[in-house]
């Protein structure tokens, strides 16, 4: 594998290229990161829907799909996700490596052209002299967004985590639903979403990551040319602030028709180091042999699942579980007990070493696939913490039992959220 090659295209626009003959596909990911607010959430999410499967060269989904088929089944897709206190819109294209094309075509360059056409040349129309997305297409995409928002409730685990997040991060951008809410999406207009689209192009921090078997000179020049010619304004600066712990633990219970209750417990700390956060989270509830899994789930049978995850930049550790209604209180007490045990160092050396080994083995596979490599690279540049997976593994292995205890002692219970069945 070649060393990542960094190209600063323009202010707030960077491109990283990684090539390795082992890859059978080539991948291009364009990450747009901008501010996240309740006023703009739904419109920004709608932009991702509008630039996904059409462009002026191929203005219908059918024509667009045929074009992808001609490129040996290439793909172009978009998504919207959270990046700490910001929103991240990703437009990505993937195709087979050029050396596998039957006639030696530059499939990658053609896929890059199709991807950038979606980004820079979407289908539009004029309404009262103002350019906007076509109304018919917009209404279809808006309904997709609304359906996506409404469907959140069908995944009760994710729904509970989202609702808990609103409480955990109350008053912070991280507490705002990433796609907005139903009423906000319903109120969107084609002109409003088009203005949001233009604002993203003008102000977003942009990270382009290319990972593949090879990259032709023509493809690289195309990407540099198109992104260097963008009309830019004041570029968004990413904000990452540790979430303050509440003076008193917040408790909330919501009731729905659910067969299995969900409980989310959120702890907060001001310690945000990569190695210690990753290791403590895995040790507590991130592996099939973690403290929560072995004791709360397996030994005591208090829950169906019980796992830990961390939002490191926000200094937040989440423990979410699926429990029977009558076991909620007992599970909460035992989860707190296991967190205290981890903080006191009451775990075996074997568990610590097994946890380190599992994490470092996973880190070795980061560059096995273009997508995971692209995600790792983009996150590093966006967060301003550019380290290799090997360096990350060294940080994990360097963590001591004393550091684990220090981190655990710094945790404070911030929120307990329960989603349970309706009362008889």
Considering only CA atoms, which of 294, 275, 411, 396 is closest in space to residue 343? 411
Angle (deg, nearest 10), helices 41-50 and 135-150: 120
What confidence tens digit (pLDDT) does each residue in 58-92 have? 999 999 999 999 999 999 999 999 999 999 999 99
- The closest alpha carbon to 4, from 274, 388, 392, belongs to 388
Q: Are residues 257 and 187 in the same domain?
A: no
Clarify whether residues 359 and 272 are in a common domain.
yes
Domain count of the fold of the chain: 2
Residue 245: inside a domain, yes or no?
no
341 contacts: CB under 8 Å, gap ≥ 6? 291, 347
Q: Which domain holds residue 139?
A: 5-228
- 269 and 209, same structural domain? no
Looking at the fold, whether 76 and 25 belong to one and the same domain comes out as yes
Q: Is residue 241 part of a domain?
A: no
Domain at 409, CATH number: 3.30.830.10
pLDDT at 26: 96
Model pLDDT, residue 130: 86
Q: Are residues 84 and 177 in the same domain?
A: yes
pLDDT at 127: 86
Q: Name all contacts of 225-232 with Cβ < 8 Å and 24+ positions apart.
A: 226/116, 226/120, 227/9, 227/10, 227/13, 227/15, 228/9, 228/10, 228/13, 230/10, 230/13, 230/201, 230/202, 231/201, 231/202, 232/10, 232/11, 232/12, 232/13, 232/202, 232/203
pLDDT, position 424:
58
Q: Round to whole Å and give the CA distance between 72 and 107.
A: 8
Judge if 261 and 195 occupy the same domain: no
At residue 410, the pLDDT reads 97
Which of the residues in the chain have pLDDT under 70?
1, 424
72, 184: one domain = yes
Could you list the beta-strand ranges (E) of 195-296: 205-212, 250-256, 261-268
| Residues 16 and 381: beta-carbon distance below 8 Å | yes
- List, in order, residues 6 or more apart from 32 with CB less than 8 Å away: 88, 89, 90, 91, 200, 201, 204, 205, 206
User: What three-state secondary structure class fits 125?
Assistant: strand
């Amino acid at each position: 594998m070649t060393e990542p090659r960094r190209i600063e295209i323009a202010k707030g626009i960077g491109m990283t290229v990684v090539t390795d003959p082992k890859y059978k596909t080539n991948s291009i990911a364009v990450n747009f990161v901008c501010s996240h607010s309740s006023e703009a959430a739904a419109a920004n999410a709608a932009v991702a829907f509008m630039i996904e499967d059409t462009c002026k060269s191929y203005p219908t989904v059918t024509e667009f799909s045929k074009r992808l088929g001609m490129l040996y089944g290439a793909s172009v897709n978009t998504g919207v996700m959270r990046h700490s206190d910001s929103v991240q819109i990703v437009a990505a294209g993937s195709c087979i490596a050029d050396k596998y094309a039957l006639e030696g075509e530059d499939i990658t360059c053609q896929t890059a052209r199709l991807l950038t056409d979606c980004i820079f040349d979407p289908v539009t129309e004029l309404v009262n002299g103002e350019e906007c997305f076509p109304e018919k297409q917009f209404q279809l995409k808006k309904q997709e967004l609304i359906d996506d928002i409404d469907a959140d409730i069908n995944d009760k685990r994710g729904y509970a985590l989202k609702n808990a997040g609103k409480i955990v991060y109350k008053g912070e951008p991280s507490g705002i639903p990433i796609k907005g809410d139903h009423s906000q999406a319903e109120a969107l207009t084609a002109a409003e979403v088009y203005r949001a689209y233009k604002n993203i192009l003008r102000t977003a921090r942009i990270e382009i990551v290319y990972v593949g078997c090879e990259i032709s000179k023509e493809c690289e020049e195309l990407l540099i040319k198109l992104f260097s010619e963008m009309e830019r304004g004041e570029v968004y600066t990413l904000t990452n602030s540790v979430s303050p712990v509440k003076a008193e633990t917040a408790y909330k219970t919501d009731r729905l028709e659910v067969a299995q209750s969900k409980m989310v417990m959120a702890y907060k700390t001001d310690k945000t180091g990569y190695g210690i956060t990753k290791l403590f989270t895995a040790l507590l509830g991130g592996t099939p042999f973690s403290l929560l899994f072995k004791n709360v789930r397996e030994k005591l049978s208090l829950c169906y699942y019980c796992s830990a995850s961390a939002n490191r930049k926000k200094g937040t550790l989440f423990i979410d579980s699926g429990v029977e209604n009558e076991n909620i209180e007992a599970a909460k007490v035992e989860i707190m007990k296991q967190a205290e045990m981890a903080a006191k160092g009451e775990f075996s050396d074997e568990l610590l070493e097994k946890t380190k080994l599992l994490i470092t083995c996973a880190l070795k596979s980061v560059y096995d696939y273009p997508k995971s490599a692209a995600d790792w690279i983009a996150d590093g540049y966006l967060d301003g913490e550019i380290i290799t997976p090997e360096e990350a593994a060294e940080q994990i292995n360097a963590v001591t039992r004393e550091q684990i205890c220090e981190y655990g002692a710094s945790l404070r219970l911030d929120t307990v959220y329960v989603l349970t069945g309706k009362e008889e």
